[in-house]
Amino acid sequence: MTVASEVALTTEQQLGLRQAEERLIRDYIRRLVKRSPEYPNFQYLCTLCSAHIENIQGAHKHIKEKRHKKNIMEKQEEDELRELQPPSPAQLQAVGAVVSDVAQQQGISEEDFLLRQEVMKQMEAVIQAVFTLIFKNYL
């Protein structure tokens, strides 16, 4: 479907329009092949914002809008995350070595662990005893 206003454009103007449209593709704005019956006057669609746009001027205005800029940023972040490669065996091994080093330097000893576990059990017993007492007196 050709737009009436486009027919009146010179070849040079049409070329300019095509180039502008190609640049808009990078901003997720594309020319509608079929106009929406709900928005018959709108020639473009921003697929990122699901926004109908009237014309090329409107499209240039749209890409400067806060909402669009925010959506573009989120889309780029999402794409970057999707492109992340899973770690290689060498990377996994390196991370494992670092974790094990840190655990040896900063981690607690087996005796410390057992001691803390014992303290925790005693505290649990005290708290349970206190709660039992409270429940007996007030319920």
* Residues binding Zn ion (CB under 5 A): 46, 48-49, 68
Pick between residue 61 and residue 116 the one whose CB is nearest to Zn ion: 61
Pick between residue 35 and residue 60 the one whose CB is nearest to Zn ion: 60
Q: Is 107 helix (H, G, I), strand (E, B) or coil?
A: coil
Q: How far is the CB of 11 from Zn ion (least distance, A)?
A: 30
Q: How far is the CB of 17 from Zn ion (least distance, A)?
A: 19
Pick between residue 18 and residue 61 the one whose CB is nearest to Zn ion: 61
Please name which of 64, 81, 83 lies closest in space to residue 72, comparing C-alpha atoms: 64
Q: Is 18 helix (H, G, I), strand (E, B) or coil?
A: helix
Q: How far is the CB of 2 from Zn ion (least distance, A)?
A: 25
Q: How far is the CB of 49 from Zn ion (least distance, A)?
A: 3
Pick between residue 52 and residue 68 the one whose CB is nearest to Zn ion: 68
Judge contact between 45 and 29, C-beta under 8 A. Answer: yes
Judge contact between 49 and 75, C-beta under 8 A. Answer: no
CB-based contacts of 17: which residues, under 8 Å, 6+ apart? 6, 9, 56
